[in-house]
Chain A
Amino acid sequence: MTFANQQRFSRAAAVAVVALGGLVMLLPFYFMFVFSTHSRVEIFQLPPPVFFGPDFLNNVAILIKKIPFWRNLGWSVYVAGLSTLLTLLFSSMGGYAFAVYEFRFKKQLFGALLSIMMLPSFLSMIPTFIVMDALSWIDEPRALYVPAAANAFGVFLMRQFISASVPREVIEAARMDGCSEFRIFRSIVVPMLGPALSVLSLIAFIASWNNFVGALVVLRTTEMYTLPLALRSMQSPVNTEWGAMMAGAAIATMPLLVVFCLASRRLIDGLTATAFK
Protein backbone atom coordinates (compact mmCIF):
# COMPACT_ATOMS: atom_id res chain seq x y z
CA MET A 1 0.00 0.00 0.00
CA THR A 2 1.37 3.42 -0.87
CA PHE A 3 1.39 6.18 1.70
CA ALA A 4 -1.46 8.06 0.01
CA ASN A 5 -3.55 4.90 -0.23
CA GLN A 6 -2.86 4.05 3.35
CA GLN A 7 -3.92 7.52 4.42
CA ARG A 8 -7.06 7.34 2.37
CA PHE A 9 -7.83 3.98 3.91
CA SER A 10 -7.39 5.10 7.52
CA ARG A 11 -9.45 8.15 6.79
CA ALA A 12 -12.28 6.06 5.37
CA ALA A 13 -12.09 3.79 8.40
CA ALA A 14 -12.36 6.79 10.71
CA VAL A 15 -15.33 8.13 8.75
CA ALA A 16 -16.99 4.74 9.12
CA VAL A 17 -16.39 4.63 12.89
CA VAL A 18 -17.76 8.15 13.37
CA ALA A 19 -20.80 7.42 11.21
CA LEU A 20 -21.44 4.17 13.06
CA GLY A 21 -21.16 6.03 16.37
CA GLY A 22 -23.72 8.55 15.13
CA LEU A 23 -26.11 5.73 14.25
CA VAL A 24 -25.66 4.17 17.69
CA MET A 25 -26.56 7.55 19.21
CA LEU A 26 -29.80 7.57 17.23
CA LEU A 27 -30.72 3.91 17.73
CA PRO A 28 -32.48 4.39 21.09
CA PHE A 29 -34.82 6.88 19.40
CA TYR A 30 -35.49 4.45 16.60
CA PHE A 31 -36.37 1.73 19.08
CA MET A 32 -38.55 4.06 21.08
CA PHE A 33 -40.65 4.69 17.98
CA VAL A 34 -40.61 1.02 16.98
CA PHE A 35 -41.62 -0.15 20.47
CA SER A 36 -44.39 2.43 20.59
CA THR A 37 -46.07 0.49 17.79
CA HIS A 38 -45.92 -2.89 19.53
CA SER A 39 -47.84 -4.44 22.40
CA ARG A 40 -46.17 -5.16 25.70
CA VAL A 41 -45.99 -8.85 24.90
CA GLU A 42 -44.26 -8.25 21.58
CA ILE A 43 -41.67 -5.87 23.04
CA PHE A 44 -40.56 -8.49 25.52
CA GLN A 45 -39.97 -11.48 23.32
CA LEU A 46 -36.85 -12.89 21.72
CA PRO A 47 -35.67 -11.42 19.47
CA PRO A 48 -37.31 -8.04 20.20
CA PRO A 49 -39.09 -6.34 17.29
CA VAL A 50 -36.84 -4.25 15.07
CA PHE A 51 -39.47 -2.80 12.77
CA PHE A 52 -42.73 -0.88 13.15
CA GLY A 53 -45.85 -2.83 14.13
CA PRO A 54 -49.60 -2.16 14.04
CA ASP A 55 -50.30 -1.35 17.70
CA PHE A 56 -49.62 2.37 18.03
CA LEU A 57 -53.28 3.33 18.39
CA ASN A 58 -53.89 0.49 20.85
CA ASN A 59 -51.01 1.77 22.93
CA VAL A 60 -52.44 5.29 22.87
CA ALA A 61 -55.80 3.85 23.97
CA ILE A 62 -54.14 2.13 26.95
CA LEU A 63 -52.25 5.34 27.70
CA ILE A 64 -55.46 7.36 27.84
CA LYS A 65 -57.02 4.77 30.12
CA LYS A 66 -54.08 4.74 32.54
CA ILE A 67 -53.39 8.47 32.80
CA PRO A 68 -55.23 11.67 31.78
CA PHE A 69 -52.81 11.86 28.88
CA TRP A 70 -54.34 14.71 26.86
CA ARG A 71 -54.69 16.80 29.99
CA ASN A 72 -51.04 16.14 30.88
CA LEU A 73 -50.00 17.02 27.34
CA GLY A 74 -52.10 20.18 27.58
CA TRP A 75 -50.41 21.22 30.83
CA SER A 76 -47.01 20.61 29.27
CA VAL A 77 -47.89 22.85 26.31
CA TYR A 78 -49.43 25.49 28.59
CA VAL A 79 -46.50 25.63 31.01
CA ALA A 80 -43.88 25.53 28.26
CA GLY A 81 -45.72 28.22 26.27
CA LEU A 82 -46.05 30.62 29.19
CA SER A 83 -42.50 29.92 30.40
CA THR A 84 -41.18 30.75 26.95
CA LEU A 85 -43.21 33.95 26.55
CA LEU A 86 -42.30 35.30 29.98
CA THR A 87 -38.66 34.31 29.56
CA LEU A 88 -38.44 36.15 26.24
CA LEU A 89 -40.05 39.28 27.65
CA PHE A 90 -38.16 39.51 30.95
CA SER A 91 -34.81 38.35 29.55
CA SER A 92 -34.83 40.86 26.72
CA MET A 93 -35.83 43.65 29.11
CA GLY A 94 -33.13 42.68 31.62
CA GLY A 95 -30.52 42.13 28.92
CA TYR A 96 -31.40 45.53 27.45
CA ALA A 97 -30.87 47.23 30.82
CA PHE A 98 -27.43 45.62 31.19
CA ALA A 99 -26.41 46.32 27.60
CA VAL A 100 -27.54 49.91 27.15
CA TYR A 101 -27.74 51.75 30.48
CA GLU A 102 -25.21 52.80 33.03
CA PHE A 103 -26.47 52.49 36.57
CA ARG A 104 -25.26 51.93 40.12
CA PHE A 105 -24.31 48.38 41.08
CA LYS A 106 -24.49 47.32 37.43
CA LYS A 107 -21.19 45.45 37.60
CA GLN A 108 -22.04 43.81 40.92
CA LEU A 109 -25.51 42.79 39.74
CA PHE A 110 -24.15 41.30 36.55
CA GLY A 111 -21.41 39.48 38.44
CA ALA A 112 -23.99 38.08 40.85
CA LEU A 113 -26.07 36.96 37.87
CA LEU A 114 -23.13 35.08 36.38
CA SER A 115 -22.18 33.35 39.60
CA ILE A 116 -25.76 32.38 40.36
CA MET A 117 -26.03 30.84 36.88
CA MET A 118 -23.31 28.46 38.05
CA LEU A 119 -25.04 27.44 41.30
CA PRO A 120 -26.21 23.84 41.20
CA SER A 121 -29.98 23.50 41.09
CA PHE A 122 -30.20 20.97 43.91
CA LEU A 123 -29.52 23.77 46.41
CA SER A 124 -32.92 25.31 45.83
CA MET A 125 -34.92 22.10 45.46
CA ILE A 126 -36.20 21.87 49.05
CA PRO A 127 -36.63 25.59 49.81
CA THR A 128 -38.50 25.98 46.51
CA PHE A 129 -41.03 23.46 47.76
CA ILE A 130 -41.40 25.35 51.03
CA VAL A 131 -41.78 28.71 49.27
CA MET A 132 -44.40 27.28 46.90
CA ASP A 133 -46.18 25.66 49.82
CA ALA A 134 -46.23 28.99 51.67
CA LEU A 135 -47.73 30.66 48.57
CA SER A 136 -50.26 27.81 48.20
CA TRP A 137 -48.89 27.24 44.71
CA ILE A 138 -48.42 23.50 45.18
CA ASP A 139 -50.08 21.61 42.33
CA GLU A 140 -50.48 24.86 40.37
CA PRO A 141 -48.90 25.28 36.91
CA ARG A 142 -47.74 28.76 37.88
CA ALA A 143 -45.33 27.16 40.36
CA LEU A 144 -43.51 26.02 37.22
CA TYR A 145 -43.76 28.88 34.75
CA VAL A 146 -43.27 31.83 37.10
CA PRO A 147 -39.83 30.74 38.43
CA ALA A 148 -38.84 29.75 34.90
CA ALA A 149 -39.46 33.35 33.80
CA ALA A 150 -36.40 34.54 35.76
CA ASN A 151 -33.86 33.00 33.44
CA ALA A 152 -30.34 34.24 34.25
CA PHE A 153 -28.93 32.55 31.16
CA GLY A 154 -31.55 34.34 29.06
CA VAL A 155 -30.60 37.76 30.46
CA PHE A 156 -26.96 36.98 29.78
CA LEU A 157 -27.67 35.84 26.22
CA MET A 158 -29.78 38.90 25.42
CA ARG A 159 -27.22 41.26 26.92
CA GLN A 160 -24.48 39.76 24.74
CA PHE A 161 -26.63 39.97 21.65
CA ILE A 162 -27.84 43.53 22.26
CA SER A 163 -24.31 44.77 23.01
CA ALA A 164 -23.05 43.24 19.78
CA SER A 165 -25.82 44.05 17.35
CA VAL A 166 -27.98 47.00 18.39
CA PRO A 167 -26.18 50.22 17.39
CA ARG A 168 -26.16 52.86 20.11
CA GLU A 169 -26.70 55.61 17.51
CA VAL A 170 -30.12 54.24 16.66
CA ILE A 171 -31.18 54.46 20.30
CA GLU A 172 -29.69 57.94 20.68
CA ALA A 173 -31.42 59.16 17.54
CA ALA A 174 -34.77 57.86 18.74
CA ARG A 175 -34.21 59.54 22.09
CA MET A 176 -33.51 62.87 20.36
CA ASP A 177 -36.74 62.44 18.44
CA GLY A 178 -38.57 62.28 21.74
CA CYS A 179 -39.31 58.60 21.75
CA SER A 180 -40.03 57.25 25.25
CA GLU A 181 -37.57 54.75 26.70
CA PHE A 182 -40.07 51.95 26.69
CA ARG A 183 -41.15 52.70 23.12
CA ILE A 184 -37.52 52.65 21.98
CA PHE A 185 -37.27 49.20 23.46
CA ARG A 186 -40.56 47.94 22.07
CA SER A 187 -40.57 49.44 18.57
CA ILE A 188 -36.88 49.73 17.75
CA VAL A 189 -34.86 47.27 19.79
CA VAL A 190 -37.16 44.25 20.00
CA PRO A 191 -37.59 43.99 16.21
CA MET A 192 -33.80 43.75 15.93
CA LEU A 193 -33.59 40.83 18.35
CA GLY A 194 -35.10 38.16 16.09
CA PRO A 195 -32.20 35.69 16.00
CA ALA A 196 -31.52 35.88 19.75
CA LEU A 197 -35.19 35.62 20.62
CA SER A 198 -35.66 32.56 18.45
CA VAL A 199 -32.69 30.79 20.05
CA LEU A 200 -33.85 31.72 23.54
CA SER A 201 -37.40 30.60 22.82
CA LEU A 202 -36.12 27.18 21.71
CA ILE A 203 -33.95 26.84 24.81
CA ALA A 204 -36.71 27.98 27.18
CA PHE A 205 -39.33 25.76 25.56
CA ILE A 206 -37.16 22.66 25.63
CA ALA A 207 -36.11 23.29 29.24
CA SER A 208 -39.72 23.59 30.34
CA TRP A 209 -40.92 20.68 28.22
CA ASN A 210 -38.29 18.39 29.75
CA ASN A 211 -38.47 19.80 33.28
CA PHE A 212 -38.77 16.79 35.55
CA VAL A 213 -37.28 17.82 38.90
CA GLY A 214 -39.22 21.08 39.15
CA ALA A 215 -42.49 19.30 38.43
CA LEU A 216 -41.59 16.46 40.81
CA VAL A 217 -41.19 18.96 43.65
CA VAL A 218 -44.33 21.06 43.15
CA LEU A 219 -46.95 18.89 41.41
CA ARG A 220 -48.94 16.40 43.45
CA THR A 221 -51.95 15.02 41.55
CA THR A 222 -52.02 13.06 38.31
CA GLU A 223 -54.62 15.49 36.97
CA MET A 224 -52.11 18.35 37.20
CA TYR A 225 -49.01 16.44 36.05
CA THR A 226 -47.00 17.60 33.09
CA LEU A 227 -45.92 14.88 30.64
CA PRO A 228 -42.60 13.79 32.22
CA LEU A 229 -44.27 13.15 35.58
CA ALA A 230 -47.32 11.53 34.03
CA LEU A 231 -45.19 9.13 31.99
CA ARG A 232 -43.11 8.22 34.99
CA SER A 233 -46.22 7.55 37.05
CA MET A 234 -47.03 4.65 34.70
CA GLN A 235 -43.92 2.85 35.88
CA SER A 236 -44.84 0.15 38.39
CA PRO A 237 -43.07 -2.88 39.85
CA VAL A 238 -45.53 -5.20 38.10
CA ASN A 239 -47.54 -4.89 34.91
CA THR A 240 -45.95 -1.75 33.53
CA GLU A 241 -47.66 -1.05 30.20
CA TRP A 242 -44.45 -0.78 28.20
CA GLY A 243 -46.05 -0.28 24.81
CA ALA A 244 -48.24 2.53 26.11
CA MET A 245 -45.35 4.13 27.99
CA MET A 246 -43.23 4.02 24.81
CA ALA A 247 -46.07 5.60 22.86
CA GLY A 248 -46.28 8.39 25.43
CA ALA A 249 -42.51 8.88 25.40
CA ALA A 250 -42.56 8.95 21.60
CA ILE A 251 -45.33 11.58 21.54
CA ALA A 252 -43.44 13.65 24.13
CA THR A 253 -40.20 13.40 22.17
CA MET A 254 -41.66 14.10 18.73
CA PRO A 255 -41.97 17.91 19.04
CA LEU A 256 -38.38 18.15 20.26
CA LEU A 257 -37.06 16.11 17.35
CA VAL A 258 -39.04 18.21 14.86
CA VAL A 259 -37.76 21.45 16.38
CA PHE A 260 -34.24 20.04 16.41
CA CYS A 261 -34.37 19.02 12.74
CA LEU A 262 -35.61 22.47 11.76
CA ALA A 263 -33.22 24.53 13.87
CA SER A 264 -30.37 22.31 15.06
CA ARG A 265 -27.67 24.68 13.88
CA ARG A 266 -29.12 27.67 15.64
CA LEU A 267 -29.92 25.70 18.76
CA ILE A 268 -26.46 24.19 19.07
CA ASP A 269 -24.82 27.57 18.52
CA GLY A 270 -27.11 29.17 21.09
CA LEU A 271 -26.54 26.51 23.73
CA THR A 272 -22.78 26.79 23.42
CA ALA A 273 -22.53 30.46 22.43
CA THR A 274 -21.97 31.68 25.94
CA ALA A 275 -19.17 29.22 26.56
CA PHE A 276 -16.37 31.29 25.06
CA LYS A 277 -17.42 34.87 25.50
Chain B
Amino acid sequence: MNRSREKSVLVRSRSMAATPYLFLAPFMVIFLVFGFAPILFSLMMAFLQWDPVEGLGAMRFVGLSNFDFTLHDAWFWKSLGNTLWLAIASGVPQHVVALPLAYFIHRVLRRSRSVVVGAYFVPYITSTVAIAIMSMALFSTDYGLINELIRAVARWPVIGALLPPAGIDWLGSAQGLKPAIAIVVFWRFVGFNTVLYLAALQGIPEEIFEASYLDGAGSGQRFWFIALPLLRPAIVFGVTLSVIGGLQLFEEPFILTGGHGGPAHAGMTTAMYMYRTAFEFNDVGAASAISWLLFLLVGTLVIGAYRWLKPVDTESRSS
Protein backbone atom coordinates (compact mmCIF):
# COMPACT_ATOMS: atom_id res chain seq x y z
CA MET B 1 0.00 0.00 0.00
CA ASN B 2 2.72 2.40 1.07
CA ARG B 3 4.82 1.28 -1.83
CA SER B 4 2.11 1.73 -4.39
CA ARG B 5 1.46 5.24 -3.18
CA GLU B 6 5.12 6.12 -3.44
CA LYS B 7 5.07 4.74 -6.93
CA SER B 8 2.09 6.80 -7.91
CA VAL B 9 3.82 9.93 -6.69
CA LEU B 10 6.82 9.03 -8.82
CA VAL B 11 4.71 8.33 -11.86
CA ARG B 12 2.94 11.59 -11.34
CA SER B 13 6.16 13.54 -11.05
CA ARG B 14 7.00 12.36 -14.53
CA SER B 15 3.60 13.22 -15.97
CA MET B 16 3.69 16.44 -13.98
CA ALA B 17 5.95 17.99 -16.58
CA ALA B 18 2.82 18.80 -18.56
CA THR B 19 0.86 20.20 -15.63
CA PRO B 20 2.19 23.78 -15.60
CA TYR B 21 1.51 24.03 -19.33
CA LEU B 22 -2.04 22.83 -18.76
CA PHE B 23 -2.57 25.52 -16.13
CA LEU B 24 -1.12 28.12 -18.48
CA ALA B 25 -2.92 26.87 -21.58
CA PRO B 26 -6.22 28.82 -21.43
CA PHE B 27 -4.41 32.10 -20.80
CA MET B 28 -1.75 31.35 -23.39
CA VAL B 29 -4.11 30.29 -26.18
CA ILE B 30 -6.28 33.37 -25.84
CA PHE B 31 -3.26 35.55 -25.40
CA LEU B 32 -1.53 34.21 -28.50
CA VAL B 33 -4.64 34.64 -30.65
CA PHE B 34 -5.86 38.01 -29.36
CA GLY B 35 -2.78 39.59 -27.82
CA PHE B 36 0.34 38.41 -29.58
CA ALA B 37 -0.79 37.52 -33.11
CA PRO B 38 -2.45 40.91 -33.73
CA ILE B 39 0.80 42.69 -32.90
CA LEU B 40 2.79 40.52 -35.31
CA PHE B 41 0.05 40.99 -37.86
CA SER B 42 0.23 44.74 -37.43
CA LEU B 43 3.97 44.66 -38.03
CA MET B 44 3.35 42.74 -41.23
CA MET B 45 0.60 45.09 -42.39
CA ALA B 46 2.93 48.07 -42.08
CA PHE B 47 4.74 46.70 -45.14
CA LEU B 48 1.61 45.87 -47.13
CA GLN B 49 -0.88 47.60 -49.27
CA TRP B 50 -4.12 45.83 -48.56
CA ASP B 51 -7.84 46.31 -48.46
CA PRO B 52 -9.08 43.73 -45.92
CA VAL B 53 -12.44 43.53 -47.68
CA GLU B 54 -10.79 41.88 -50.68
CA GLY B 55 -9.41 38.99 -48.64
CA LEU B 56 -5.91 37.73 -47.94
CA GLY B 57 -5.10 37.32 -51.63
CA ALA B 58 -5.21 41.07 -52.19
CA MET B 59 -2.15 41.70 -50.02
CA ARG B 60 0.69 43.42 -51.84
CA PHE B 61 4.14 43.89 -50.36
CA VAL B 62 5.18 47.51 -50.75
CA GLY B 63 8.36 47.69 -48.71
CA LEU B 64 8.81 50.89 -46.77
CA SER B 65 6.38 52.97 -48.81
CA ASN B 66 3.80 53.13 -45.97
CA PHE B 67 6.48 54.60 -43.73
CA ASP B 68 7.62 56.89 -46.50
CA PHE B 69 4.05 58.07 -47.05
CA THR B 70 3.48 58.65 -43.34
CA LEU B 71 6.72 60.54 -42.83
CA HIS B 72 5.74 62.92 -45.64
CA ASP B 73 2.17 63.26 -44.41
CA ALA B 74 1.52 66.73 -42.97
CA TRP B 75 -1.42 65.40 -40.93
CA PHE B 76 0.78 62.83 -39.26
CA TRP B 77 3.21 65.52 -38.11
CA LYS B 78 0.38 67.73 -36.98
CA SER B 79 -1.12 64.89 -34.97
CA LEU B 80 2.27 64.16 -33.46
CA GLY B 81 2.65 67.82 -32.49
CA ASN B 82 -0.80 67.75 -30.89
CA THR B 83 0.03 64.55 -29.02
CA LEU B 84 3.30 65.91 -27.65
CA TRP B 85 1.63 69.18 -26.66
CA LEU B 86 -1.12 67.33 -24.82
CA ALA B 87 1.24 64.83 -23.22
CA ILE B 88 3.42 67.63 -21.82
CA ALA B 89 0.61 69.99 -20.84
CA SER B 90 -1.30 67.25 -19.03
CA GLY B 91 1.67 65.19 -17.84
CA VAL B 92 4.04 67.71 -16.28
CA PRO B 93 1.40 69.32 -14.00
CA GLN B 94 0.31 65.85 -12.86
CA HIS B 95 3.70 65.19 -11.32
CA VAL B 96 4.28 68.75 -10.13
CA VAL B 97 1.02 68.52 -8.17
CA ALA B 98 1.15 64.85 -7.19
CA LEU B 99 4.60 64.93 -5.57
CA PRO B 100 3.99 67.63 -2.94
CA LEU B 101 0.43 66.43 -2.49
CA ALA B 102 1.57 62.89 -1.74
CA TYR B 103 4.24 64.23 0.60
CA PHE B 104 1.71 66.35 2.45
CA ILE B 105 -0.79 63.51 2.76
CA HIS B 106 1.96 61.20 3.97
CA ARG B 107 3.36 63.60 6.57
CA VAL B 108 0.27 65.39 7.85
CA LEU B 109 -3.01 63.57 7.28
CA ARG B 110 -3.98 60.68 9.50
CA ARG B 111 -7.66 59.98 9.93
CA SER B 112 -8.90 61.91 6.90
CA ARG B 113 -6.29 60.26 4.75
CA SER B 114 -8.30 57.60 2.91
CA VAL B 115 -11.13 60.06 2.18
CA VAL B 116 -8.72 62.61 0.70
CA VAL B 117 -6.81 59.99 -1.31
CA GLY B 118 -10.13 58.56 -2.52
CA ALA B 119 -11.36 61.97 -3.68
CA TYR B 120 -8.26 62.54 -5.79
CA PHE B 121 -8.21 58.98 -7.09
CA VAL B 122 -11.84 58.44 -8.08
CA PRO B 123 -11.67 60.14 -11.51
CA TYR B 124 -9.15 57.46 -12.51
CA ILE B 125 -11.72 54.66 -12.26
CA THR B 126 -14.61 56.39 -14.01
CA SER B 127 -15.48 55.84 -17.63
CA THR B 128 -13.93 58.24 -20.11
CA VAL B 129 -17.26 58.59 -21.86
CA ALA B 130 -19.01 59.74 -18.71
CA ILE B 131 -16.11 62.09 -18.00
CA ALA B 132 -16.22 63.50 -21.53
CA ILE B 133 -19.99 64.02 -21.44
CA MET B 134 -19.64 65.81 -18.13
CA SER B 135 -16.75 67.95 -19.41
CA MET B 136 -18.65 68.99 -22.51
CA ALA B 137 -21.32 70.54 -20.31
CA LEU B 138 -18.83 72.13 -17.91
CA PHE B 139 -16.70 73.58 -20.74
CA SER B 140 -19.65 74.94 -22.72
CA THR B 141 -18.86 78.47 -23.94
CA ASP B 142 -21.99 80.38 -22.97
CA TYR B 143 -23.51 78.26 -20.24
CA GLY B 144 -20.64 76.19 -18.86
CA LEU B 145 -19.69 76.44 -15.21
CA ILE B 146 -16.01 76.88 -15.99
CA ASN B 147 -16.57 80.03 -18.03
CA GLU B 148 -19.10 81.16 -15.43
CA LEU B 149 -16.37 80.86 -12.80
CA ILE B 150 -13.87 82.74 -14.98
CA ARG B 151 -16.41 85.51 -15.52
CA ALA B 152 -16.95 85.77 -11.76
CA VAL B 153 -13.22 85.94 -11.05
CA ALA B 154 -12.73 88.44 -13.90
CA ARG B 155 -14.78 90.97 -11.93
CA TRP B 156 -12.14 91.04 -9.19
CA PRO B 157 -9.48 93.72 -9.41
CA VAL B 158 -5.91 92.85 -10.50
CA ILE B 159 -6.53 89.12 -11.20
CA GLY B 160 -9.45 90.10 -13.40
CA ALA B 161 -7.21 92.08 -15.72
CA LEU B 162 -5.33 88.87 -16.56
CA LEU B 163 -8.43 87.02 -17.67
CA PRO B 164 -10.32 87.36 -20.93
CA PRO B 165 -13.59 89.23 -20.36
CA ALA B 166 -15.62 87.11 -22.77
CA GLY B 167 -16.09 83.38 -22.28
CA ILE B 168 -13.38 81.12 -23.65
CA ASP B 169 -14.53 79.01 -26.59
CA TRP B 170 -13.07 75.83 -25.07
CA LEU B 171 -14.34 73.13 -27.39
CA GLY B 172 -15.12 75.24 -30.47
CA SER B 173 -11.76 76.86 -31.11
CA ALA B 174 -8.30 75.54 -31.83
CA GLN B 175 -6.81 77.61 -29.00
CA GLY B 176 -9.30 76.45 -26.39
CA LEU B 177 -9.53 72.79 -27.27
CA LYS B 178 -6.04 71.64 -26.31
CA PRO B 179 -6.05 73.20 -22.83
CA ALA B 180 -9.54 71.77 -22.25
CA ILE B 181 -8.38 68.24 -23.15
CA ALA B 182 -5.23 68.68 -21.05
CA ILE B 183 -7.31 69.78 -18.04
CA VAL B 184 -9.56 66.72 -18.36
CA VAL B 185 -6.57 64.37 -18.65
CA PHE B 186 -4.82 66.06 -15.73
CA TRP B 187 -7.96 65.73 -13.61
CA ARG B 188 -8.27 62.07 -14.45
CA PHE B 189 -4.70 60.97 -13.68
CA VAL B 190 -3.34 63.27 -10.97
CA GLY B 191 -4.77 61.02 -8.24
CA PHE B 192 -3.20 57.92 -9.71
CA ASN B 193 0.25 59.55 -9.56
CA THR B 194 -0.42 60.77 -6.02
CA VAL B 195 -1.18 57.22 -4.92
CA LEU B 196 1.96 55.99 -6.66
CA TYR B 197 4.13 58.50 -4.78
CA LEU B 198 2.30 57.85 -1.55
CA ALA B 199 3.18 54.16 -1.84
CA ALA B 200 6.81 55.07 -2.48
CA LEU B 201 6.91 57.45 0.49
CA GLN B 202 5.69 54.68 2.75
CA GLY B 203 8.83 52.77 1.84
CA ILE B 204 11.10 55.54 3.17
CA PRO B 205 12.18 54.86 6.78
CA GLU B 206 10.70 57.35 9.23
CA GLU B 207 14.07 57.85 10.96
CA ILE B 208 15.41 59.74 7.96
CA PHE B 209 12.76 62.40 8.38
CA GLU B 210 13.18 62.49 12.16
CA ALA B 211 16.92 63.00 11.90
CA SER B 212 16.48 65.94 9.54
CA TYR B 213 13.84 67.38 11.84
CA LEU B 214 16.32 67.35 14.71
CA ASP B 215 18.83 69.01 12.40
CA GLY B 216 16.37 71.85 12.05
CA ALA B 217 15.22 71.29 8.49
CA GLY B 218 11.87 72.91 7.67
CA SER B 219 9.13 70.91 6.01
CA GLY B 220 9.86 72.54 2.66
CA GLN B 221 13.53 71.64 2.97
CA ARG B 222 12.68 68.10 3.98
CA PHE B 223 10.51 67.72 0.89
CA TRP B 224 13.09 69.20 -1.44
CA PHE B 225 16.32 67.69 -0.09
CA ILE B 226 15.18 64.41 1.42
CA ALA B 227 11.88 63.18 0.00
CA LEU B 228 12.49 64.15 -3.64
CA PRO B 229 15.92 62.48 -4.04
CA LEU B 230 14.65 59.34 -2.33
CA LEU B 231 11.60 59.31 -4.59
CA ARG B 232 13.69 59.38 -7.75
CA PRO B 233 13.05 55.73 -8.71
CA ALA B 234 9.33 56.27 -8.19
CA ILE B 235 9.47 59.43 -10.30
CA VAL B 236 11.21 57.51 -13.08
CA PHE B 237 8.44 54.95 -12.95
CA GLY B 238 5.64 57.51 -12.78
CA VAL B 239 7.06 59.62 -15.62
CA THR B 240 7.50 56.48 -17.72
CA LEU B 241 3.85 55.58 -17.23
CA SER B 242 2.84 59.15 -18.11
CA VAL B 243 4.92 59.07 -21.30
CA ILE B 244 3.38 55.76 -22.36
CA GLY B 245 -0.12 56.94 -21.47
CA GLY B 246 0.23 60.49 -22.79
CA LEU B 247 1.48 59.47 -26.21
CA GLN B 248 -1.36 57.02 -26.75
CA LEU B 249 -4.01 59.53 -25.78
CA PHE B 250 -7.14 58.60 -27.68
CA GLU B 251 -10.39 58.42 -25.73
CA GLU B 252 -10.61 61.91 -24.22
CA PRO B 253 -9.88 63.86 -27.43
CA PHE B 254 -11.87 61.37 -29.52
CA ILE B 255 -15.06 61.84 -27.53
CA LEU B 256 -14.60 65.55 -26.80
CA THR B 257 -14.20 66.29 -30.53
CA GLY B 258 -16.87 63.89 -31.77
CA GLY B 259 -14.21 61.64 -33.29
CA HIS B 260 -12.91 64.16 -35.84
CA GLY B 261 -10.24 66.10 -33.99
CA GLY B 262 -12.11 69.37 -33.51
CA PRO B 263 -11.52 72.77 -35.14
CA ALA B 264 -8.38 72.83 -37.32
CA HIS B 265 -7.74 69.27 -36.05
CA ALA B 266 -6.25 70.81 -32.93
CA GLY B 267 -7.42 67.83 -30.88
CA MET B 268 -6.40 65.07 -33.27
CA THR B 269 -3.79 62.90 -31.57
CA THR B 270 -1.63 60.38 -33.42
CA ALA B 271 -3.59 57.43 -32.05
CA MET B 272 -6.78 59.10 -33.33
CA TYR B 273 -5.21 59.75 -36.71
CA MET B 274 -4.20 56.10 -36.86
CA TYR B 275 -7.78 55.07 -36.13
CA ARG B 276 -9.15 57.37 -38.81
CA THR B 277 -6.56 56.23 -41.35
CA ALA B 278 -7.68 52.65 -40.85
CA PHE B 279 -11.43 52.99 -40.39
CA GLU B 280 -12.30 56.13 -42.34
CA PHE B 281 -9.67 56.20 -45.08
CA ASN B 282 -9.44 52.38 -45.25
CA ASP B 283 -5.66 52.36 -45.39
CA VAL B 284 -4.59 49.69 -42.90
CA GLY B 285 -1.02 49.70 -44.19
CA ALA B 286 -0.44 53.37 -43.50
CA ALA B 287 -2.32 53.08 -40.20
CA SER B 288 -0.02 50.25 -39.10
CA ALA B 289 3.01 52.27 -40.12
CA ILE B 290 1.69 55.16 -37.99
CA SER B 291 1.23 52.87 -35.01
CA TRP B 292 4.79 51.53 -35.26
CA LEU B 293 6.27 54.98 -35.70
CA LEU B 294 4.38 56.09 -32.60
CA PHE B 295 5.60 52.99 -30.80
CA LEU B 296 9.20 53.82 -31.74
CA LEU B 297 8.70 57.30 -30.35
CA VAL B 298 7.23 55.96 -27.10
CA GLY B 299 10.10 53.50 -26.75
CA THR B 300 12.73 56.17 -27.42
CA LEU B 301 11.20 58.61 -24.98
CA VAL B 302 10.80 55.96 -22.26
CA ILE B 303 14.44 54.94 -22.60
CA GLY B 304 15.39 58.62 -22.73
CA ALA B 305 13.42 59.44 -19.59
CA TYR B 306 14.96 56.45 -17.88
CA ARG B 307 18.51 57.44 -18.80
CA TRP B 308 17.93 61.05 -17.91
CA LEU B 309 16.54 60.39 -14.47
CA LYS B 310 18.42 57.25 -13.56
CA PRO B 311 22.20 58.00 -13.64
CA VAL B 312 21.84 60.82 -11.12
CA ASP B 313 20.34 58.30 -8.75
CA THR B 314 23.38 56.03 -8.77
CA GLU B 315 25.65 59.06 -8.50
CA SER B 316 23.87 60.51 -5.50
CA ARG B 317 23.89 57.12 -3.85
CA SER B 318 27.61 56.54 -4.36
CA SER B 319 28.64 60.04 -3.25
**Complex CA–CA separation, A216 to B284 (angstroms):** 17
A63 interface contact, C-beta 8 A: no
Q: Which of B123-141 contact A (CB under 8 A)?
A: 123, 125-138, 140
CB distance from A15 to the nearest CB of B (A): 7
B134 adjacent to A249 (CB under 8 Å): yes
A276 adjacent to B200 (CB under 8 Å): yes
A53 interface contact, C-beta 8 A: no
CB distance from A161 to the nearest CB of B (A): 15
A232 adjacent to B122 (CB under 8 Å): no
Q: A181-B16, A260-B125 are in contact. Are A28 and B39 (CB under 8 A)?
A: no
Q: Tell me the count of chain A residues lying within 8 A, CB to CB, of chain B.
A: 93
1/0 per residue, CB under 8 A from B, across A242-277: the answer is 100110011011001100110011011001100110
B87 interface contact, C-beta 8 A: no
Q: A120-B298, A126-B287 are in contact. Are A97 and B23 (CB under 8 A)?
A: yes
B41 adjacent to A246 (CB under 8 Å): no
A133 interface contact, C-beta 8 A: yes
Q: Contact check: which of A15, A101, A152, A271 meets B20 at CB < 8 Å?
A: A101
If over half of B's interface residues share one DSSP class (helix, strand or loop), that class is named, otherwise mixed; here it is helix
Q: Tell me the count of chain B residues lying within 8 A, CB to CB, of chain A.
A: 93
Q: Contact check: which of A93, A120, A150, A268 meets B195 at CB < 8 Å?
A: A268
Q: Which of B289-304 contact A (CB under 8 A)?
A: 291-292, 294-295, 298
In the complex, residue of chain A having the shortest beta-carbon distance to the beta carbon of B18: A103
A residues at B contact (CB < 8 Å): 11, 14-15, 18-19, 21-23, 25-26, 28-29, 31-32, 35, 43-48, 89-91, 93-94, 96-98, 100-103, 106, 109, 116, 118-131, 133, 146-147, 149-150, 152, 155, 175-176, 178, 181, 185, 206, 209-210, 212-213, 227-229, 231-232, 235, 237, 242, 245-246, 249-250, 252-253, 256-257, 260-261, 264-265, 267-268, 271-272, 275-276
